[in-house]
Each structure stands twice: as C-alpha cells, then as structure tokens.
Amino acid sequence: MTKQRLPDWFKASKGKLAATRKLSTMLEREVPNSICQEARCPNRSDCFEKGILTFMILGITCTRNCSFCSVQHGVPKAPDQNELSTILRSIEKLNLRFVVLTSPNRDDLEDGGAEHYAMIVRGIKKAYPHIKVEVLIPDFLGDRGPLEKVLAAKPDVLNHNVETVPSLYSDVRKGSIYKRSLKVLKMAKEINPSILTKSGLMVGLGETDAELLETFKDIRDQATDILTLGQYLKPDKNSANVDRYVSPDEFKKLEIEALGLGYKFVFAGPLVRSSYLAEHVFDDTVKQHANLGII
C-alpha cells in the first residue's frame, strides 16, 4: 500500500508543538504512566490546559495485541497498590478538574482489574469530591461482576470503546469481540440506567461509510449516550497502516448522521480522541439533558 500523505489539517502550529513537547517532558516526570504519553495523543496540551488528564492504571503492558495501539504487549506486572497515592499527588500538583482513568486489558487478573478501578475512583471521590471521573474500561471479557464493581464506585461517565467496525476486528482488535463490546455498553445501562455511557470509533482503517453508519446504530441501540469519532493515526512503524484520511467536512457529515440516531452528544473530528476534552463533552451533555440528573 502506498503511504498516505498527512493532510494539511493535521499540521500543528509551532506554538502548539512547543507546548506539547514541554508538557510531554513534564508528564514523563510527574505522571510516568499517563496514557496521553503512552498512546502519543496529539491533543495532550489542549486537554492539560483545561485541567483534564487521562491516567493509565494497572501498568503499561497489555495482554492483547491490537494493531492500532502503541501500548506494549506482554506479561503484565501485578497491580501497583500505591497507584492511588500517586494519582492523588498528581491531581493536587497539576490542579486537575476532570480525571479519566483507563488501562490496558488485564485478562490475567480474575476481575480484569475492576476492583483496582473501583478503589481508585472511590479514593479520588473521597479526596476531591468536586472532581468528575470518567472510566475508559476494557471489556472485562464480558463479565457482569467486574462491571458492577466499577459502577458501584460511582464514576460520572462509563466509557468503553468499540474502536472500529466489526469486519475489521480480526485484524485490528485481536482478542476482542465486537458483540462483547456492545454487551458491555448494554450491561452498564442495565446496572445503572442513569450513568452516562460513551463509546469511541476510529476511522481510516479500511471501513466503509456504510459500515460506520451501521456501527453507529449498533452502539446507539445499547442506549449509549455519547459517541466520539476520530482519525486513526499510525502510532509507530509496527502498527496498522492508515487506509484513508477523512476530511473535516466528512467528519461533520458523520456527526450529523450519528446525531440523527438519538445520541445525546457526538464529538467528531480528525484529532478527536475518546478522552479528548472529556470535561467539555460531559458538561455539554449534562446541560443539554438536565433531566438526566447527572451533575
């Protein structure tokens, strides 16, 4: 396949590049396991300026080996029982207002790491009651028990990414199952109907627009409230190739299509990532739908 040239709309200003490099250096010192760094997110400086940061808990090694992801694959270490203290210090030092917690898949653990998630959510809520917490969880192998543990800790948003269309799962999401991810979103609403649920998709991996629209519908059929859509960017030379770059105008059309299915909020654009400006997405969703009672 011919290498795709990066379109002009991805070219950042020198000021933004400098800010991102400065933030990266600081995060490596203060928050060594930030997924913002591990996944090489292009929006690190945007989120951080607004007091939003995504923490990667449960280590930096994944038991699965998805071809779109730069997180290392292998045998993980045992969960760090001091991780909550590290996160609380970072929240205080970095003056955060909205925290996202995510992790690699931990299929080696009996509950997939659910109790660790719950412990950290509870700890943040106790220490900083004003801070909103979003959890971006793995699929926990589709088990209901781990999901109940996480939701019992009362996060403000439950996020589980479907990532791509079903036809690409065998290539892009090895070890994951499309219908299982949909099941996770459905179970979350069954367990707590008032929780805001969220899912994200990447485009540019080889999917068709028709497949995207069908996937939008499948995710919405699980009563999912929020959908994020972003361009897949190859994080390293060993990852899957970019099949196409979707223009901002095309993203706008996809956003309109998704909103027509009944989502409460859709955030779409070339640089949108699942946790990008998470507080903004949360606040706008709540404001537009105050009857949800999630504030």
Q: Please tell me the predicted confidence (pLDDT) of residue 4.
A: 65
> 208 burial class (0-12, 13-18, 19+ CB within 10 angstroms)?
exposed
Q: Which helix (H) or strand (E) holds 83?
A: helix 83-94
Tell how far CA 140 is from the center of its chain: 15
Q: Please tell me the distance from the alpha carbon of residue 53 to that of residue 121, in angstroms, as a whole number.
A: 14
Q: Please tell me the distance from the alpha carbon of residue 192 to that of residue 262, in angstroms, as a whole number.
A: 19
Q: Please tell me the distance from the alpha carbon of residue 52 to that of residue 90, in angstroms, as a whole number.
A: 12
Q: Please tell me the predicted confidence (pLDDT) of residue 182.
A: 98
CA dist list (Å): 274 to 79, 201, 230: 24, 8, 8
Per-residue pLDDT in tens (0 to 9) along the chain, 295 residues: 456 677 876 665 444 544 445 555 555 555 555 544 444 555 555 555 555 678 889 998 888 888 777 778 899 999 999 999 989 988 888 888 889 999 999 999 999 999 999 999 999 999 999 999 999 999 999 999 999 999 999 999 999 999 999 999 999 898 899 999 999 999 999 999 999 999 999 999 999 999 999 999 999 999 999 999 999 988 778 888 999 999 999 999 999 999 999 999 998 988 887 765 555 556 566 666 655 444 4
What CATH topology corresponds to 14-292?
A: TIM Barrel (3.20.20)
Q: Please tell me the predicted confidence (pLDDT) of residue 17.
A: 44
Q: What residue ranges do the domains of the chain occupy?
A: 14-292
CA dist list (Å): 205 to 89, 241, 272: 38, 7, 15
Q: Supply 141's token pair.
A: 């192998």
In this structure, are residues 95 and 60 in contact, taking their beta carbons and an 8 Å threshold?
no
In this structure, are residues 37 and 68 in contact, taking their beta carbons and an 8 Å threshold?
no
Burial 63-81, CB ≥16 within 10 A → b, else e: bbebebbebebeebeebee
Q: Please tell me the predicted confidence (pLDDT) of residue 174.
A: 84
Q: Please tell me the distance from the alpha carbon of residue 14 to that of residue 284, in angstroms, as a whole number.
A: 30
